[in-house]
């Protein structure tokens, strides 16, 4: 089975009929809130809180989908890219509306994603 995922607009996403007003993680079909506060110390000069290894990243599959926001502005730190490469996981970072399309194309058991719903 596949998951239904769509970005409703800035700050709002719908996964399988449930609306979320915060960033989400999808780990093998289970949805939970992204704790981006863990990456706040890395914000620095980036202008946005990035995705960093400080967060709980769902590494379990063959690929990790990162929805980089409405405008694609979420920075993904090099340590996340390096860890994905070390684990042999394809890191796919693209604007969240496109990331939702990719989520919908996969079996939900294969979905590992972090979806950012602002910027």
**Under DSSP, is residue 36 helix (H, G, I), strand (E, B) or coil?**
helix
**Predicted TM-score of the model (pTM):** 0.96
* % helix, strand, coil for the chain, step of 5: 25, 35, 40
Q: What is the pLDDT of residue 82?
A: 98
- Please give the pLDDT value at position 47: 86
**Tokens of residue 87, six digits:** 């684990």
Q: 36 pLDDT exceeds 90?
A: yes
Q: How far is CA 12 from CA 7, 18, 97, in A?
A: 6, 10, 11
Query: How far is CA 83 from its chain centroid?
Result: 15
Query: Percent of the chain at pLDDT above 90?
Result: 93
Asked whether residue 119 carries a pLDDT value surpassing 90, the answer given is no
Q: Report percent pLDDT > 70 for the chain.
A: 100
Q: What is the pLDDT of residue 113?
A: 98
């Amino acid at each position: 089975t596949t998951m239904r995922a769509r970005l409703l607009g800035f700050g709002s996403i719908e996964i399988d009929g449930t609306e979320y007003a915060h960033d989400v993680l999808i780990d093998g079909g289970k949805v939970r809130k992204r704790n981006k506060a863990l990456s706040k110390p890395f914000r620095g000069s980036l202008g946005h809180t990035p995705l960093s290894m400080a967060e709980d990243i769902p590494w379990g599959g063959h690929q990790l989908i990162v929805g980089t926001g409405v405008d694609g502005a979420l920075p993904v730190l090099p340590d996340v890219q390096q860890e994905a490469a070390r684990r042999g996981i394809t890191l796919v970072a693209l604007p969240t509306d496109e990331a939702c399309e990719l989520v919908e194309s996969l079996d939900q058991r294969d979905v590992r994603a972090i979806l950012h719903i602002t910027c």
